[in-house]
Chain A
Amino acid sequence: MNKRILIVDDSFYMRTMLKNMLTDAGYEVVGEAANGAQAVEMANATTPDLITLDVILPDNTGLDVLKSIRQTQPNAKVVMCSAVGQEVIVNEAIESGALAYIVKPFSEEKVLEIVGAALQDNSTETAA
């Protein structure tokens, strides 16, 4: 069955590109959030199989968003998404339970590889 993915990024351009890559590959994009508040709300409303989460958002850091989502959904699979320069936050995010890190600019192959691997990963479920 199609895996359902929520995209969180404050750039419309980035969201569109990610969405095209993911839907072309047969994933279902259940929502697109442009800020932290939207992200938490949509994650809880849609309970997606995976969330791609931008590190820097207008109202919050991706790290805060990750933490609040994992409070209500401890099994949520999250892949961080950021351009270089934010390694500190990304590392912290991985420690807080994010599964992987997509570096912008990304290639379609790379995105699908990381997303596919994260969806296969069961470590978050066993941890809970």
Chain B
Amino acid sequence: MKTREQEYRELFMAEALEYYDSMSRHLSELERNPNDAPALNELFRLMHNLKANARAMGFMDLGEVAHHLETLFGLVRSNEREFAGPLVRVIFQGVDALGSMIRAVGANQPLPDAQALLENLDRLVRGEAPILEGEEAENEEESSRKLELSDLVYIQVKKLDNLLNLVGELVIDRDRILTLAQEIGNPALQATAQHLFRISDDLQYSVMDARLVGVGVLLNKFPRVVRDVATAENKEVELTLSGQDVQIDRNILQIITDALLHLVRNAVGHGIETPEERVKAGKPATGHLELSALTERDDVLIQIHDDGRGINTEAVRRKAIERGLTTAEAAANLDEQAVWAFLFEPGFSMAQQVTDISGRGVGLDVVKLALDSLGGQLRVDSKMGEGTTFTLVLPTSIAVKGALLVEVDERPYAVPLLHTDTVLALPPEEFSVVGGVLVMHAQGQAVPVVPLRMLLHDEGDELFPLANKTELQGSQQVLIVNYNNRRLGLLVDRFLRQQNIVIKPLSKPLDTIDLFGGVTLLGSGQVCLVLDVPALTRLFLSKRP
């Protein structure tokens, strides 16, 4: 992961090498024509910049040489010294010395000693003659001169996308070769396959690493957004940013741009109260909005926190009943988290009808969809009168996802780990039937359970049949998945293993089946469908008896 320190160092190096190349060029021009004023001005400017940058990085010796040369160029510019004779030789030595020092910085080596050079530069500044060694020394320097190109390359994202796709294909073939090698049993082939495995793993991570950018490139656009929205809404909002250095795949950042924009607009427009309301509520007139990024295990969390009025849970509960999303009895038993989940339902809007609530709800489903497409999660936390926090849980990289492989009717299915909660093996006694739905208890919470088979084979519009406990024979394998704070237990035949998978989109005509997020190839060459947990959850909720 690249820290800001490393970034500065890379920028410094890239620019220093560029300066060095330009200086060498202008110096040759000046040698041909000592009256070349533009060349002299450029030399002076570049030297001045190199001095300032080197000192900012703490490379004091490098800064010192540049400072002396800058002074000397200043004297030449003001016609106090002539660009001729021994002065030219010392200046060339000086620029060469800068080149060696810059290279030493790049190679993390101690900087070469420049004492003799500095003394000669001092003499020239004072108007004395420099002490020059024989011609040999100069020849030696000439033979050690190297040509250097910048260490930084700018690259189109398109090219990186292509690279990532190719690596994805490679990984699939690699898994296939590894399985074949084991089947064939040839030790040399197996060893080679193992080696291929390691190299392609490294390659994959290198490509993923090359695509990472700091979250700051997006977050730093928000001061302007917040300012404009706040002005339009007559709000006073102070924005704090943190975690700009957290690294994430560039395309993930691209995909969440609109979602983040929406959440920030909502927070300023509807979360944070007007200065008058705030003062009345005993809060400071200026609202506070915080945008922060942090890393949690393999995920990147982006949080939008406002200290506004918070979500009116009861209003959302009433609205959900009104919209027919739940019954009054069921709604009464829902905790806050479960109620807030309704905010992400398509078209669920708190506008107009309910004015005493933050967030219009309009478009929150769009935010949810953007996160679903990435395999991310959206969490919400709120306290009336104190504020609301939205948390976007994002994968660091798009390419590879951790998945749990399960088996139903002798076919493998992959469930992205981002949506898996717990894996359990339970005897039939642990289950009960409530309202026609099979229910189990996990961590003090009642979790509905459904055979995955039933969801996969679902056709038509009829509701699922009433659950029957007597159909459960022996120990049951339950995978608890989590979507939008709703937990659902899936009964499967067998747990296979956990592995990293490369998800490929489904090709036509299969792409209309919305229960699957894509397909992956297992090492055995077997095709494995990747389950779309949000879609499965929605199907269950719409068909439960």
Contact = CB atoms under 8 A, between A and B. Distances in A.
Interface of A: 1-2, 10-14, 16-17, 20, 23-24, 26-30, 56-58, 82-86, 104-106
B383 interface: no
B49 A10 contact: yes
A83 B51 contact: yes
Contacts, number: 80
Contacts of A57: 45
A20 B242 CA distance: 11
Contacts of B220: 23, 29
A51 to B, nearest CB: 17
B51 A26 contact: no
A85 B230 CA distance: 44
Interface residues of B, number: 35
Contact of B8 (A2, A16, A58, A106): A16
B49 to A, nearest CB: 5
Contact of A106 (B56, B74, B231): B56
B284 interface: no
A10 B45 contact: yes
B48 A28 contact: no
A24 B56 contact: no
A28 B52 contact: no
Interface of B: 4, 7-8, 11-12, 14-15, 42, 44-45, 48-49, 51-53, 55-56, 67, 70-71, 74, 216, 220, 223-224, 226-227, 230-231, 236, 238-241, 244
B226 A11 contact: no
A83 B52 CA distance: 6
Contacts of B240: 26
B72 to A, nearest CB: 12
What 5 pairs between A and B have smallest CB-CB spacing?
A: A105-B56, A83-B52, A104-B52, A28-B223, A105-B55
Contacts of B51: 83, 85
A2 B223 contact: yes
Contacts of B56: 13-14, 17, 104-106
Contacts of A29: 220
Given A83-B48, A104-B55, A13 B12 contact: yes
A56 B11 contact: no
Contacts of A83: 48, 51-52, 55
B49 A14 contact: yes
B227 A1 contact: yes
